[in-house]
Structures are given as structure tokens and as C-alpha cells.
Structure 1
Amino acid sequence: MIDLRLLREDPDRVRASQRARGEDVALVDALLSADERRRSSGVRFDELRAEQKALGKLIPKAAGDEKAELLKKAGQLSADVKAADADRDAADTETQELLQRLGNLVHPDVPVGGEEDFVTLETHGTIRDFAAEGFEPKDHLELGQILGAIDVERGAKVSGSRFYFLTGIGALLELALVNAAMAQATAAGFTPMLTPALVRPQSMAGTGFLGQASQDVYHLADDDLYLVGTSEVALAAYHMDEILDADRLPLRYAGFSPCFRREAGSHGKDTRGIFRVHQFDKVEMFSYVAPEDSQAEHQRLLEWERQWLTSLELPYRVIDVASADLGASAARKFDCEAWIPTQGKYRELTSTSDCTEFQSRRLSIRVRDGKQVKPLATLNGTLCAVPRTIVAILENHQQADGSVRVPEVLRPYLGGREVLEPVSK
């Protein structure tokens, strides 16, 4: 959530952020009104409570008609205090509910617009000319079947659409990717973490995934637990309700977990293969830093993603995601999109978001710097979303006979294999 003081001091900035997100600007005025009622009712309660305490000291000293009058007044004051307390609680509840619905403030450099209004910041690598090499590229699903690596038919039989099995070399390729990604993250100073896939409502809400993203979240009603769509949720909630010492920052974690997404709004999109699925594994970077360091940390996370994609020898581009395409928690987000030959376009493989103080305020995570205790900043960055990375590797490194060249960075984790060989034609 944002700082209420900022809302009071600069409501136009908050309105502009809501407008850029394509969200309801009227929410800002409703929140301002609720906050004013919360503060005024709080003042009213404090005044009545002080009067009640003062009167309580006079009653034992009074006698006769004076005491009776004071007791009558005390009874009325008691009712007024209860009413003021109820008004204060109601206004506070309304303020908090409205505040939870407000997205993070969009960074001023973010391009304004929707999904297609991103700005390309840079491109890396060379897109292969398969025609010049004399063959038509196969898509990842056909390659996965040739290699004995992907089985979507049995995935659908067992679990339904958008589920799959990774088999044989496909399973080994996932393990190689996870181990290589964790090795890079560990070398960069991240603490490796295996995180829970089920979290409580306060963890999911605190990271901002029960607002606009709630339709994509799986909920286990009997247990009131949520399946995470990213280990960001568990990593953000790891220090929930804690005060960290400033000299511990930055704290950097690399979490590995299964991830679950309903993909509720993606009917008809990416139905072939394993690019968009309901369950997948992912290595996620997560940072806790001082608020003034968040933009620099954002660039660091992006650089680690660049290093990873470069090590996989994939052509990719970096985009500055437009305002209406940001998640509720993100003030700014960069995506790294790899070239997918059979689709003839770049597709998102990794992303990194600067969430500033938004999540730490909701999760009550603070930092002690000398005598001052204040919220800190959180950031996240996908290092390896496994199925999409497999898609990019198979399609970009395929050879005419259906084999796939293994990027050098993965070879030590695949028993030295330089090529994935077909098991069927």
C-alpha cells in the first residue's frame, strides 16, 4: 500500500498514477474522504475519552445533587465514547479497505498505455535465418516429441488442458536449468531457498495478488490456503511482521518452487505446447533493500537476467512495460523477451519489478536505521521460468535432424551432453 501522508500531500500524483494504470480515479477521492473521517473521528474519540477521565476524577469528590448530575453526565459520556469508538473503527476499516485496492504509484519514467505500448530498451543476440540454413524450424512441441521430452497428451489425460509431463531428457533439462540458475544466483550472493507452495491469505494479499490478479489464483477453500503463482509471495512474506536491522540490507533470496496459475483470461491463447500452463517450476530472485536503493537494485536484477539469457545463447530484447500492464505491486517492470522462431516474435521469459515500499507496508516489514524505524523496499525478478525457457532453448538451438544443441552453460548439468538426440522420427 502507499503512504497515506503522500496521498494527503499530493493527491494529484496518486490520481495520475491511477489514470495511467487504467484504474478508477474516483477511488482516490473516496480514500481521502474516508481518511478524513478516520482522523476526525479519532480526534473526537480522544476528546471525549479525556473528558470522561476528567469527570471520573470529580465524581468521588462530589456529593448530593452535584454527584447525581455528574453521574448522569458520565452515563451520557460513556454512550458518546462508545459511539465515537465505533465511528473511528468503521472509518479506519473503510480507509484500510480502500487503501488495499489502490495500486502502487507508477514510476514517472514508465511509458503510459496498455499491453502494446511498451518501450523497447535494447536487443541482444542474432536471430537465426533458418531458410539460409536450408530447413524449416519445428516448434517446441514437435521437437519435444522427437526428443522424448514433452508429453502433453497424457498431461491432459491425467490433469486436463494446459498440463504436461516432462519425460526423459525433458525432465533432465529442467533439473539442469534449475541447478544452473541457482548456481548463478548463489554466485551473485543470493541465499538459495525452497519455499512453500501454499500460503495463508495475509501472505497472498500482502504481496498484492488478491486484487486484480485474484482471478488467476487457486484457492483451497476448506483450508483457506492459496497456491502461489510465484515464490515471490513466500519470499516477500518470509519477513512479515519483522523489523530488520539496516546493516543486514540488502537481503537477497533465490527461491525455487512449483507455481500455479489458472490463466483465467487466456482462453484461446498459447494452447499448443507448454508456453502457457497451469503448473510450472520457477527460480525467482527477491531483494529487500533500503527505499533509496530500489532503482539501483532493479537494474542489478535486470543485469542478472541478461547474464542468464546470454549464457543460454538466446536472442532477446528488454522492454519497459507500460503502465496499464503493470501488476498492482509494481512501480516499474522490465521484461526480457526471447525470440521464438516458429512464432516469429519475442515472448516474455523473465521479468523484474520494483515494488518500492508497497509490499513491505502491507506485510508490516520495516527496517531499523539508528533510532528510525521505517518501511523498506522489495523487488523481484524471474531468473528461470522453466517451461518457457525450454521452449526457447529447443526452438532456437534446434538442428535440421531434430536434435538440439545444448548451450555450454548447461552441459555440466547434463552429464557433458553437447546435443540432445532424437529418440523417434
Structure 2
Amino acid sequence: MIDIRFVRENPDAVRESQRRRGNDEASVDALLAADEARRSALQAFETARASQKELSRSIGKASPEERPAVLAEAKELAERVKELEAAANEAEQEYLQANAAIQNIVLEGVPAGGEEDYEVLKHVGEPRGFDFEPKDHLDVAEALDAIDMARGTKVSGSRFYYLKGVGARLELALLTMAVDQAEAAGFTMMTTPTLVNPDIMAGTGFLGAHSDEIYYLPADDQYLVGTSEVALAGYHKDEIVDLSNGPLRYAGWSSCYRREAGSYGKDTRGIIRVHQFNKVEMFSYCRVEEAEEEHRRFLAWEEEMLAKVELPYRVINTAAGDLGSSAAQKFDCEAWLPTQNRFMEVTSTSNCTTFQARRLGIRERFDGETRTAATLNGTLATTRWLVALFENHQRPDGSLYIPEALRPYLGGRESFEPVA
């Protein structure tokens, strides 16, 4: 939800944000009109209600001769107040709908455009030169007996899988290493609910244009989360949080579910694009003035993890039209996939400014008053990382090199050997 005071005072900035996202600028004018109508309707209702209260106090003072007329006037005014209240409520709903149509205002420096209009900020590491023909991640994993796609499909349908043996161990090691790093950085570890109520899902901004990505359970009126960001954002719903000692940081470990609607025929092989996966997600509540600095910290922590698993990657500044409704800026880290000769997203971190917290009623005390907090999120590790590990660390004999930082989580093993 957008701060309406900012929109009133800076309509051109909001229009520019809409343009950069590729959205309709007219929605800004529609919001301003709905805001004006809401305020006018509310004023009319409150004025009439004040008159009603004044008239009610005069009934007891009226003479017997005046009383019937005063009672008749009171009845008529009561009906009018009821109509004006209904009109004010309707105007409020129309305002809320108009506000919901405006996505978060993008920050300065975010490139305009869509999915392909990102800005590459830097490259880290060099893609490995192979002296043999590298196999794709699924061939490497199946030789290690680490993934079973066929039985995953048999049991649950397409885009499901089993991680087994060294595959399951490698995922557990990766996520545990992420948790250790997060705790060392001051995050509180959380295992989070994977089912949330509609107000939480809507409050985080996930029930907009891409709501078809989300699994909905109508019998329970609940949603399966696609990231623990949702549950972590809802953790302090309708609360006043204490940010006087710095940001509140949580690291959520959860299974995540995505319908992958609209991705028919895309990344169908292996575990690049699946319906269920595990993830460790960073989340922060902080003061608005600290949000951009906190965002840079999140990116640095993601890069620290990528360095530990020894992957070449690049960092991109995502274009405005590819941000999603809640993010004001998003940085992605993309690991190199040698068999596809391309980069693949493995982490993203978003600065959501006050967009989510305003929807969820999350405030902080500042200078003797309360105001909306800022929220940020970022991926620290996820199942998809196995794709890049299998491809980049394969050996010609079919074995898999284990990065040094991961070895303590795997009993000191330096490699995984193929199954005979």
C-alpha cells in the first residue's frame, strides 16, 4: 500500500514510477480522485453525525409542543446519517482498491523496462574451462544417485522430485551453512508456517498480477507460501516493533511451493523450476532511513554464501517492470550454468520500503510518535543452488568436488563418487 500523503505531495514521482514499471499512469489520477471522494464523503458523514448528536441533546430540552417536530427531524437525520455512513464506507473501499492498484514506488537507480532490461552491476569469478564435455545437472546428479525425477513425477506429478542420498545431504549441508552464517550476522533462526491466511498473503503483495503462482486451499481459505518471507512479514502484523537498537532480523527455513503457472515448456528438465523446494530466507524490519544500507548488507551476505560454494556469478539490478508489486528495488545474484551457457538466478534481495508494513500495520516508535517500518528480504540458500553445484563442480570421472566451506557439514568429505 502506498502512503497517500506522498502521492498527494509527489504525484509526478508516482506517475514516473508507474511509467518505469510499464504500468498505467492514469491509476495515479484515479487514486487521487478516490482519495478526494473518500475525504469528502467522510466529512459529510461526520458533519451530519455531529448535527445528529446535537439534535439528540436538544430533545430533552424541547417543550411538549416542540417535541414531535424535533423527533421527526431526528428520525429524518438518522436516516441521512445512515446513508452518508454507507456512502463513506463505499468511498473507503473504492479508495483502498485504487491504492492497491499502485505498486511500490521504485527507487532512484532502478532501470526502466521489463525482464530483459536489467543492469549488470558486476561479475565475480570466471566460468570454468572444461577439458571434457560437461554434463547437465540432472545427468551428474543421477550418476551420483542424488535425484529421482521419475518417482517424484509418479507420486506427485510433473516438476516434483526426490532428493536422495548425497543429494539430500548436500541440500541439508547448504541450508545449514546458510543458517550458521545468518546467526553469526545477528539473525534469529525461525522455522515458519507454510500455510498462511489471506490477509497475510495479500499484505505482502503476493495476491496481485502473479497470484496464479500461488497454491490456494479453498476448503481452509489458506495459501501455501512460495517463500518464508510471507510468514516472516506477518510475524509482527499489527504490532509496534522496537527498532531503537537496529533492525530486527530473522532467518526463515521452510519448504516453499509455486505453481509455476505460465512456465509450460520452460526449464522442464531437472530441478531448476519445480513446485516444491526448501529455502533459507533473510528478513529484516528496519527504519526507513536505514533500508537502502540494509539492502546492501543483504546483498553482501548473499555474495558471501556464493563465495563459500565457489560459484562464478553476476549481480544484476532488476528492471522496474520485473520487480513484483512490493519491491522498490531488487538485486539478483545469478550463477553460471556451463551446459546452458547462461546465468541462472540463485538469490534475490528486495527492499520493500514501507509497502508491506503499511498493509500489515507494522509500526515503530520514532521521535515520540509511531510510523510505518520498512521491510527487506533476501535468499541465502535454496534447493536450486544444487543445479549450479552439480554443473560447476563435476569431474570427468563423474565425481563431484565439494567446496571447502561445505565439507564440515558433510563429515569432512571432499567429493562424492558416482554410484557403480
Q: TM-score range by the shorter chain?
A: over 0.9
- Say whether 1:409 aligns with 2:405: yes
AA partner of residue 303 (structure 2): R
1:197-227 Cα shifts (integer Å, max 9, x gaps): 1111111011001112201000010001100
**Matches of residues 219-298 of structure 1 in structure 2 within 5 Å?**
219-298=216-295
User: Of the candidates 399, 415, 419, which is equivalent to residue 419 of structure 1?
Assistant: 415
- Say whether 1:181 aligns with 2:199: no
User: Of the candidates 371, 374, 379, which is equivalent to residue 377 of structure 1?
Assistant: 374
Partner of 1:92: 92
- Larger deviation, residues 45-54 vs 356-365: 45-54
AA partner of residue 245 (structure 1): D
AA partner of residue 125 (structure 1): G
Structure 2 Cα separation of the partners of residues 262 and 53 of structure 1: 55
Q: Decide whether the 8 Å contact of 1:258 with 1:282 is kept in 2.
A: yes
Once the 2 structures are TM-superposed, how far is the Cα of residue 88 of structure 1 from its aligned partner? Answer: 0.5
Structure 1 Cα separation of the partners of residues 32 and 366 of structure 2: 30
SS of 1:247's equivalent?
coil
- Larger deviation, residues 13-22 vs 305-314: 13-22
1:229-285 Cα shifts (integer Å, max 9, x gaps): 000000000000101123253100110000000000111110001010000000000
Partner of 1:3: 3
Partner of 1:14: 14
Once the 2 structures are TM-superposed, how far is the Cα of residue 45 of structure 1 from its aligned partner? Answer: 1.0
Once the 2 structures are TM-superposed, how far is the Cα of residue 65 of structure 1 from its aligned partner? Answer: 4.1
**Matches of residues 98-247 of structure 1 in structure 2 within 5 Å?**
98-130=98-130, 133=131, 135-247=132-244
1:49-101 Cα shifts (integer Å, max 9, x gaps): 11111112222222244333222221221111111111100001111122223
Name segments (4+ residues, structure 1) moved above 6 Å.
none
Partner of 2:360: 363
Structure 2 Cα separation of the partners of residues 194 and 233 of structure 1: 12
Q: Identity percentage over the alignment?
A: 58
AA partner of residue 144 (structure 2): L
Once the 2 structures are TM-superposed, how far is the Cα of residue 35 of structure 1 from its aligned partner? Answer: 1.1
Once the 2 structures are TM-superposed, how far is the Cα of residue 32 of structure 1 from its aligned partner? Answer: 1.4
Q: Decide whether the 8 Å contact of 2:175 with 2:382 is kept in 1.
A: no
Q: Decide whether the 8 Å contact of 2:215 with 2:259 is kept in 1.
A: yes
SS of 1:128's equivalent?
coil
SS of 1:246's equivalent?
coil
Structure 1 Cα separation of the partners of residues 199 and 74 of structure 2: 41
Structure 2 Cα separation of the partners of residues 59 and 253 of structure 1: 59
Structure 2 Cα separation of the partners of residues 382 and 151 of structure 1: 25
Structure 2, unmatched stretches of 5+, are: none
Q: Decide whether the 8 Å contact of 2:288 with 2:373 is kept in 1.
A: yes
Once the 2 structures are TM-superposed, how far is the Cα of residue 123 of structure 1 from its aligned partner? Answer: 0.5
1:173-201 Cα shifts (integer Å, max 9, x gaps): 01111111111111111111100111111
Once the 2 structures are TM-superposed, how far is the Cα of residue 30 of structure 1 from its aligned partner? Answer: 1.8
Partner of 2:39: 39
Structure 2 Cα separation of the partners of residues 246 and 397 of structure 1: 42
Structure 2 Cα separation of the partners of residues 416 and 291 of structure 1: 43
AA partner of residue 46 (structure 1): E
Once the 2 structures are TM-superposed, how far is the Cα of residue 161 of structure 1 from its aligned partner? Answer: 0.7
SS of 1:96's equivalent?
helix
Structure 2 Cα separation of the partners of residues 244 and 146 of structure 1: 50
1:143-186 Cα shifts (integer Å, max 9, x gaps): 01100101111111111111111111001101111111111111
Structure 2 Cα separation of the partners of residues 257 and 62 of structure 1: 68
Structure 2 Cα separation of the partners of residues 143 and 245 of structure 1: 48
Once the 2 structures are TM-superposed, how far is the Cα of residue 107 of structure 1 from its aligned partner? Answer: 0.9
Structure 2 Cα separation of the partners of residues 335 and 303 of structure 1: 12
Q: Decide whether the 8 Å contact of 1:149 with 1:166 is kept in 2.
A: yes
Partner of 1:400: 396
Q: Decide whether the 8 Å contact of 2:215 with 2:257 is kept in 1.
A: yes
Q: Decide whether the 8 Å contact of 1:245 with 1:369 is kept in 2.
A: no
AA partner of residue 32 (structure 2): L
AA partner of residue 151 (structure 2): R
RMSD: 1.1
- Larger deviation, residues 403-412 vs 8-17: 8-17
AA partner of residue 400 (structure 1): P
- Larger deviation, residues 79-88 vs 52-61: 52-61
1:367-392 Cα shifts (integer Å, max 9, x gaps): 01242100000000001111x20010
Q: Decide whether the 8 Å contact of 2:311 with 2:388 is kept in 1.
A: yes
Structure 1 Cα separation of the partners of residues 238 and 208 of structure 2: 21
Q: Decide whether the 8 Å contact of 2:295 with 2:349 is kept in 1.
A: yes
Structure 1, unmatched stretches of 5+, are: none
Once the 2 structures are TM-superposed, how far is the Cα of residue 105 of structure 1 from its aligned partner? Answer: 0.4
SS of 1:226's equivalent?
strand
Instruction: Give TM-score, length-normalised by structure 1.
Output: 0.97
Q: Decide whether the 8 Å contact of 1:298 with 1:352 is kept in 2.
A: yes
